[in-house]
A and B are shown apart, each in its own frame.
Chain A
Amino acid sequence: MEDKFFNASIYDAQAKEYAQNCRTDHMQYLPDMEIIDSDLLERVTAARNNCQWQQYTIMEVKRALAKGKRSIEDFKALLSPAALECLEEIAAAAQRERKRYFGNSVNIFTPLYLANYCENYCVYCGFNCHNKIQRAKLTNEQMEQEMQTIASTGMQEILLLTGESRKMSDIEYIGAACRMAAKYFKVVGLEIYPVNSDEYRYLHRCGADYVTVFQETYNSVKYEQLHLAGHKRIFPYRFYAQERALRGGMRGVGFAALLGLDDFRSDALATGLHAYLLQRKYPHAEISISCPRLRPIINNDKIEPLDVHERQLLQIVCAYRLFLPFAAIVVSSRECARVRDNLMLLAANKISAGVSTGIGSHGKEHLGDEQFEIADTRSLQEIHADLQERGLQPVMAEYVYV
């Protein structure tokens, strides 16, 4: 069957050739992977597969907008093609919810890339193990220097990232980074390869309290075609990462689909449902959703997010806000300053600043290459000033580790 959502910009010759080779079963857990008793994957997949986007009309969209509390059906209507025609009204409704739940505050954080070694072959990602880039991993000393530099700007929340290599960035290494980060920052989050719940518990004790895992796409068939090798290939293990993190004692979890890999409406629906169902199961969990679109990478500057234009991005972000008004919504530096600042005013409430996706980039020495090209290079001071100019209140941290 023809793939209506095939994104040709992602595949280079090497990926095409590799994809022809024998591929392992991506639904089969590997021996070291914890299996938890949960039915969320079946529920999210069923909802994603059964959604008929064309059945929603402007009438359903307006009904959803008029409600105080929106159902899953309302969420679908807001994500439907029909809803694009009422984007202005959707934005107005999203802004009301944003204001009601978060006032004018915007939370600020910065990512720190600890290492870019990776054992996965995700064809769209700059860190993939076949991409010829400069690899590096921060030593403890370099890590401390990077953290000192970042902390000196006034930053209070840090997101620690690694490429997905257990061998090069093992749990003890990440744990040491968490302990160090807890000295310099009030809030420590993680975006690393998925691990078992006992390992999340260990990292929580080291000072981390938030775990973000992007599912990339919730279409398991497409997922298999994009993640050709490595642990990441195991679709259900990745899907249950947030649930394992909560069982390991983490306070909050983040979700995202990488928009442009597959049908973005279905992936946005699945992302929202994944977050919604998990919060219902673990009511104390703090929920956060990111809205990344595909970006160019080193050795492939042609990558683009296909039909996810700015209008569609705004529609998705607003639909997330209207369905999950209490969730944090992050817009990363994949988007330009104009888009980010306007999204903060309308629906999102969390932004990164002073971003570099390379290794060692906050110090004098560039040690390793970037994961993707960023579109907003503003420093913390610049973003702080720009937000204030728009009447928004930057918040550096709102948290206490207990």
Chain B
Amino acid sequence: MQEDFWELGGRKFSSRFILGSGKYSLKLIKAAVEEAGAEMVTLALRRANGGQLDNILDYIPENVVLLPNTSGARNAEEAVRIARMARELCRTDFIKIEVIKDSRYLLPDNYETIKATKILAQEGFVVMPYMYPDLQAAREMCAAGAACIMPLGAPIGSNKGLATKEFIQLLIDEIDLPVIVDAGIGRPSQACEAMEMGAAAVMLNTAIATAGDIPLMAAAFKAAVIAGRQAYLAGLGAVCDTARASSPLTGFLHD
């Protein structure tokens, strides 16, 4: 099989697993990179900004792309300001836009996200918008200059899987940018399913961070993402309601 790359912001990635931000520890980052093969790791600027006694940046290997996000932003203007700070601090043009004004469910605000996408894309950022899977909003993000779109499967950290599956499928079918399923994936089987649907990659954190054995769960996700991707490339068989022999009616024909 040919090597299977995907591209974003002029970089080639072979891994289709991205580590999300949220629950951070040295053990988690190590497992994500070494066991799950992550080539991109998200970091909330508000955490990087903290000047921790242990600097989280020290844990991230140099060959891994650091993806800062704008978590903490409640509108487009705040997202833009955080993105500019992130560019300075993390020395990268990659930015994941998160605009959230709901502290209970942490659902993204598509309207403000579109506005932030437009401004940041014009400033040369590689804009990766986190969004609620709405086709119209996704089209506007494309038009605004997004580099990919990142629909949620279920609320952040919920481990509820692909609750928005039908709508994510529409985005994959209709949008000509990589679709990265972000948030909600709680099991390797759900990551596999997202990849079978044709997602370019999946992003997750909590499912691994809260596992009993972090490295083992990271390895399980790696295998699941690869299996799902291969199934997508292979072409899945159609689903039908009854059993079907290979040629029940025309099997007698010889020439």
The chain A residues found within 8 Å of chain B, CB to CB, are 99-105, 154, 156, 186, 279, 283-287, 326, 384, 393-400, 402
Is A397 within 8 A of B49, CB to CB? yes
Contact flags B241-253 to A (C-beta < 8 A → 1, else 0): 0000000000000
Query: Which of B24, B81, B104 is in CB contact (< 8 Å) with A103?
Result: B24
Point out the residues of chain B lying under 8 angstroms from A103, CB to CB. 22-25, 206, 209-210
Q: Which 5 residue pairs are nearest across A and B when measured between Cβ atoms?
A: A103-B23, A397-B50, A284-B101, A402-B78, A283-B102
Point out the residues of chain A lying under 8 angstroms from B23, CB to CB. 102-105
Q: How far is the CA of A287 from the CA of B104 in the complex (A)?
A: 9
CB interface residues, B 195-222, toward A, < 8 Å = 206, 209-210
Is A400 within 8 A of B46, CB to CB? yes
A-B contact number at CB 8 A: 80
Q: How far is the CA of A286 from the CA of B22 in the complex (A)?
A: 16
Point out the residues of chain A lying under 8 angstroms from B49, CB to CB. 186, 397, 399-400
Q: How far is the CA of A200 from the CA of B42 in the complex (A)?
A: 34
- Distance of A61 from chain B, by nearest CB (Å): 23
Is B50 within 8 A of A156, CB to CB? yes
Point out the residues of chain A lying under 8 angstroms from B51, CB to CB. 154, 156, 186, 396-397
Residue of A nearest to B160 (CB): A68
Residue of A nearest to B109 (CB): A284
Is B53 within 8 A of A105, CB to CB? no
- Distance of A189 from chain B, by nearest CB (Å): 15
Point out the residues of chain B lying under 8 angstroms from A279, CB to CB. 103-104
Query: Which of A100, A326, A384, A398 is in CB contact (< 8 Å) with B47?
Result: A398
Point out the residues of chain A lying under 8 angstroms from B67, CB to CB. none
Is A396 within 8 A of B52, CB to CB? yes
CB interface residues, B 42-62, toward A, < 8 Å = 44-47, 49-54
Residue of A nearest to B51 (CB): A156
Is B52 within 8 A of A326, CB to CB? no
- Distance of A351 from chain B, by nearest CB (Å): 14
Query: Which of B24, B82, B159 is in CB contact (< 8 Å) with A105?
Result: B24
- Distance of A162 from chain B, by nearest CB (Å): 26
Is B72 within 8 A of A399, CB to CB? yes
Is A384 within 8 A of B53, CB to CB? yes
Is B50 within 8 A of A398, CB to CB? yes
Q: How far is the CA of A395 from the CA of B47 in the complex (A)?
A: 8
Contact flags B102-118 to A (C-beta < 8 A → 1, else 0): 11101000000000000
Instruction: Give 25 CB contacts A-B under 8 Å.
Output: A99-B210, A100-B159, A100-B206, A103-B209, A103-B210, A105-B23, A154-B53, A279-B103, A283-B102, A284-B74, A284-B102, A287-B103, A326-B104, A384-B53, A394-B54, A396-B50, A396-B52, A396-B53, A397-B52, A398-B44, A398-B46, A399-B49, A400-B72, A402-B78, A402-B82
- Distance of B78 from chain A, by nearest CB (Å): 4
Q: 14 other contacts beyond A400-B49, A402-B72, with CB at 8 A cut-off?
A: A100-B210, A103-B22, A103-B24, A103-B206, A103-B210, A104-B25, A154-B53, A186-B51, A283-B102, A287-B103, A397-B46, A397-B50, A398-B47, A400-B72
- Distance of A56 from chain B, by nearest CB (Å): 25
Instruction: Flag whether B85 is at the interface (Cβ < 8 A).
Output: yes
Instruction: Flag whether B73 is at the interface (Cβ < 8 A).
Output: yes
Q: How far is the CA of A103 from the CA of B159 in the complex (A)?
A: 13
Is B103 within 8 A of A395, CB to CB? no
- Distance of A360 from chain B, by nearest CB (Å): 26
Residue of A nearest to B80 (CB): A402
Is A283 within 8 A of B50, CB to CB? no
Residue of B nearest to A326 (CB): B104
Point out the residues of chain B lying under 8 angstroms from A99, CB to CB. 210
CB interface residues, B 139-169, toward A, < 8 Å = 157, 159
Point out the residues of chain A lying under 8 angstroms from B72, CB to CB. 399-400, 402
Is B85 within 8 A of A393, CB to CB? no
Is B46 within 8 A of A283, CB to CB? no
Residue among A99, A287, A326, A400 with the highest chain B CB neighbour number at 10 A: A400
Residue of B nearest to A108 (CB): B53
- Distance of A353 from chain B, by nearest CB (Å): 11
- Distance of B71 from chain A, by nearest CB (Å): 9
- Distance of B215 from chain A, by nearest CB (Å): 15
